[in-house]
Structure 1
Amino acid sequence: MLTGSIVALVTPMDITGEIDFHALKELVEFHIKSGTSAIVAVGTSGESSTLNVDDHVKVAMKVLEYAAGRVPVIAGNGANSTSEAITFSKLFANTGIAAGLNVTPYYNKPTQEGLYLHYKNIAEASDLPQILYNVPGRTAVDLLPETVARLAEIPNIIGIKEATGDLNRLAEIKALVSDDFMLYSGDDGTGCDFLLQGGHGVISVTTNVAPADMAEMCRLALSGDTKGAKAIDQKLSPVHDKLFVEANPIPVKWACAELGLIPNAVCRLPLTTLSEQYWEVVRNALKEAKLF
């Protein structure tokens, strides 16, 4: 059962845009030492949309290698093509990857029946456990609670990352699925309340820069310590907000570089580095959260 603070890990790159595997290894060590419960490799924050298939698989497998069984590793395996998502699932099956994080198909805007059949076919193509990932602000499609409930009946669909930021959605899904279906927040700003209202974990951007704080916040929330969890969440609220002044992962990569966690803030096109007008905005958020 994967619970707690789960980092949506950035993918460090050199100045040419090639993967910096030395920096990636250092990031994995940093998170393990800081108490992060699990690592998502090559999710949205890991630039899954700009990595080719070879890089995508290599990054996930290197994170698995570097983690060396100390924390579970989840691999992004979503695509807007069902056949491509099946390919990723088959590549990650029986490797030690704990689960695939499977974003709703973006751009092509399928119906709810199309979403159901998309995930059903992926789940049936391999034994890899699947975590649904609903982020309509990026994909232009919303995986509705009724469809989640249908999918939850498929044995290797084990949970959902719900990134609408709507806490009512959590209650709606909880009412429709079994207690062992895992519920993860994909929205740092509401993640604490999500846990306090019955969620199991946060798949987090903020954890990239504040892993120890996020781990403790999640621990307190899951243990029912509302006051303690909210105190940490309030401290981190500037970071939750300002890491989205431009499209993720642009600000969080810049913040990681600013904190010395990675050598630079290079992203692959069409993503760029953080616009200069936001440097002080993000830097001040880090300072306000006492991360400097």
Structure 2
Amino acid sequence: MRQRWLGVFPAMTTQFHEDQSLDAAGTGRHVEAMVESGVGGLVMCGSLGENQAMEPDEKVEVVRTAVRAAGGKVPVVVGIAETSTAKAVRAARDFARAGAAGFMIMPPMVYRPDNAEADAFFRTVGAATDLPWMLYNNPIAYTVDITPTRLAEFADIPNLIAVKESSSDPRRIIEIRLLLGDRFDLFVGVDDLILESSVHGLDGWVAGSGIAFPAENQRLWDLLQAGRWDEARALYRWFSPLMKLDTHPKFVQYIKLMTQEAGLGTEWVREPRKPLAGEERERILAIIRRGIETRPKG
């Protein structure tokens, strides 16, 4: 029987100090809070984790920190976002030695590969270790689109076990199911499409905004999995304005500010990103504080 990845796999932030140095202890504390909430796994060093703003040794330290904090209770999946195949292969092997349970592999960064180049990249990096991996499909951010038909061409890769589908088209879920059945564990990666995507049958959710509200995030997932649609819709209505903060170019700053307001982290980011300021900061704070004030009881 093949390995399964199931449930909420939050995309974790990497915590920094105000001087932009790595805050490994703060990162570990947030991991512990997420594990306590009942998540199925963790995604470290993804886009929300500011992967490309870190040095290779810092990424390894984040992985080791997360593995220690998770304590073997859930798998630690690590994002691979590199500009060359060689760097991506090296990262996969470094993360494996640091204790990663598997990888979420993004297409090549910066360069826009054609289909053949992207396919070769995924295959080569995925084969760098025998650990399981998740293919991250996000054509909006990364230009590469692994359509259901193209995904079928990857079905022969034994350690490719999951797909993070972030094309913003919930129909992709049913299209993949019709074409490939249960060959891959299907994760949605767009927060404010979780309800719509769940109708088609999901195995998991790489959640962003929910790292600030882990109990509510897990509750929503559980309701959706149980088919308790009326309760899920009510919770989703409260969550929706917060979830939309995950679909903006400054989603890292927005979500870090949200975790700070919720008492689970700090807002500090690494340049070229800057903390929010002025009218934008006040506007986003108003959304976050409204969410906290109206947070469902119990």
Superposition TM-score tier, normalisation by shorter sequence: over 0.9
Structural mapping, 1:162-173, within 5 Å: 162-173=165-176
* Partner deviation per Cα, 1:48-73 (whole Å, 9 max, x = no partner): 01111111111012101111112221
Judge conservation of contact 1:152–1:158 (CA < 8 Å) in 2. Answer: no
Equivalent residue, structure 2, for 1:278: 280
- CA deviation string 1:249-288 (max 9, x = no partner): 11111111222222x3111111111232222332232233
Partner SS, residue 249 of structure 1:
helix
SS at match of 1:152: coil
Q: Distance in 2 between matches of 1:168 and 1:160?
A: 15
Aligned to 1:28: 31
The CA deviation string for residues 72-123 of structure 1, in whole angstroms up to 9 with x for no partner, is 2111123231111111221233654222011122321111121211111122
Name which of 228, 240, 243 aligns with 2:243: 240
- Tell me, yes or no, if the aligned pair for 2:11 and 2:48 is still in contact at 8 Å: yes
- Who is 1:71 aligned against? 74
Q: Deviations over 1:235-254 (max 9, x none)?
A: 10010113445422111111
Q: Could you tell me which residue of structure 2 aligns to residue 153 of structure 1?
A: 156
Letter in 1 for 2:284: V
Partner deviation per Cα, 1:110-138 (whole Å, 9 max, x = no partner): 11121211111122221021100012222
Amino acid at match of 2:96: A
From 268, 271, 274, the equivalent of 1:269 is 271
1:189 shift after superposition: 0.6
* 5+ residue gaps, structure 1: none
Q: Distance in 1 between matches of 2:277 and 2:200?
A: 36
Q: How far apart in 2 are the matches of 1:197 and 1:288?
A: 31
Query: How far apart are residue 290 of structure 1 and its match?
Result: 3.4
Partner AA of 2:101 in structure 1? A
What pairs with 1:11-90 in structure 2 (closer than 5 Å)? 11-90=14-93
Give TM-score, length-normalised by structure 1. Answer: 0.93
Q: 5+ unaligned residues in a row in structure 2: which ranges?
A: none
Supply the distance in 2 between the matched residues of 1:278 and 1:36 (Cα, whole angstroms): 31
Contact 2:245–2:255 under 8 Å retained in 1 = no
* 1:161 CA drift (Å): 0.6
Work out the CA distance in 2 between the residues paired with 1:246 and 1:117.
28
Q: Is the 8 A contact 1:189 1:241 kept in 2?
A: yes
Q: Supply the distance in 2 between the matched residues of 1:161 and 1:283 (Cα, whole angstroms).
A: 29
The CA distance in 2 between the partners of 1:124 and 1:77, in whole Å, is 13
**Local SS of the residue matching 1:184:** strand
- Relative to the length of structure 2, the TM-score reads 0.91
Q: For 2:262 and 2:71, locate their aligned partners in 1 and report how far apart those are by CA, in whole Å.
A: 25
Q: Mapping of 1:86-235 within 5 angstroms?
A: 86-93=89-96, 96-235=99-238
For these two proteins, the number of residue pairs brought into alignment is 291
**Could you tell me whether the CA contact under 8 Å between 1:208 and 1:256 is conserved in 2?**
yes
Match of 2:291 among 261, 265, 289: 289
Amino acid at match of 1:266: W
Q: Structure 1: how far apart are the matches of 2:251 and 2:13?
A: 10
Q: Deviations over 1:202-224 (max 9, x none)?
A: 10111111111111111121222
